[in-house]
Amino acid sequence: MGFTPAGDVGLLAVVLRHSRATWAQWVDVDASTAVFGRALIDAARHFGGAPWWWVFEEPDCRVLHWDGRRQHFAALLQVVAKHMASSLALWHERFGGPAVAACERLFWMRPCPRRCELAAGNVALRVWLNETLQHSPHPQQPSRSVADVFAEERRTLVPLPASWAALDVWFEAESADDV
C-alpha cells in the first residue's frame, strides 16, 4: 500500500506484487489510521481476497506509532489484517515499491479531486482503473495483460472472512466521509 499527498487530498494505492493489479482511492490528506484500515478492507473486497502480507511502502504517522525503540503499526490496522488472516510489513527502501510508483503514476494521469468531490473522484478513478490498467500489458510479461496475470494470482489470495460485520461497524462513520 502506498500513499501520496497532493494538496488537500491524498491517493492511496494497493498494488498486488505479482500481477500488478491495482486498487486506488482518493482520501483527505489528513486521513486517519481508520481510513487506512478501511482501505485494506475495500482493496481486499475489490481483489476478491487478501494478500498474505500488506506491505506499507510509504509509512507515516497516520499508520505507524513510535514506541521509543521501533516503529509499529497502529493497533486498528493490526486487527484488520489479522481478521483477514494477513500480516503487516514495512517496505524498507523508501519510494522503491510498486504501490508508491502507482500512486505517482495515477496522480499524474487522473485529475485530482477536491475534498467535496472525493466520492465522484473515486468512482471515476475505479472506472478508469478497470478500463485502462487491467487491460494493460504486464510489465514483466508483455505478451499478457495485467488482468490475465491477476486471474492466476487471485487463486493464491487468502479467502475473505465470512462476516465483515464487526469491522464494518468500526469504519461506518469514517467511511461515510472518506469514500
- Is residue 6 classed as helix, strand or coil in its secondary structure? strand
Highest mean pLDDT among 40-44, 135-139, 165-169, 175-179: 40-44
* pLDDT tens track for 115-148: 567 888 888 888 888 887 767 888 888 888 888 8
Q: pLDDT band at residue 50, thresholds of 50, 70 and 90?
A: very high
**For residues 136, 139, 142 and 147, what is the CA-based torsion angle, rounded to 10 degrees?**
-40
**In sequence order, which residues have a C-beta less than 8 Å from that of residue 17 and are 6 or more positions away?**
51, 55, 98
Q: pLDDT band at residue 49, thresholds of 50, 70 and 90?
A: very high
State the average pLDDT over residues 28-52: 87
Q: pLDDT band at residue 60, thresholds of 50, 70 and 90?
A: confident
| Grid coordinates of 137 | 500489458
pLDDT of residue 109: 62
What percentage of the chain exceeds 90 in pLDDT? 12
- Is residue 136 classed as helix, strand or coil in its secondary structure? coil
More confident residue, 45 or 104: 45
pLDDT of residue 175: 46
Rounded Cα–Cα distance for residues 146 and 126 (Å): 15
Rounded Cα–Cα distance for residues 131 and 111 (Å): 16
- Burial of residue 63 (CB within 10 Å: 0-12, 13-18, 19+) is buried
pLDDT of residue 6: 73
Rounded Cα–Cα distance for residues 46 and 131 (Å): 14
State the average pLDDT over residues 72-101: 79
More confident residue, 30 or 86: 86
Q: pLDDT band at residue 43, thresholds of 50, 70 and 90?
A: very high
Q: Does the domain spanning 2-177 belong to CATH 3.30.420.10?
A: yes
pLDDT of residue 27: 86
Of the candidates 11, 10, 27, which has an alpha carbon nearest to the alpha carbon of residue 176?
27
pLDDT of residue 10: 82
Rounded Cα–Cα distance for residues 96 and 98 (Å): 7
Every domain of the chain and the residues it spans:
2-177
- Is residue 37 classed as helix, strand or coil in its secondary structure? helix
Rounded Cα–Cα distance for residues 104 and 13 (Å): 10
Yes or no: say if 16 and 142 are a contact pair by the CB < 8 Å rule. Answer: no
State the average pLDDT over residues 156-172: 72
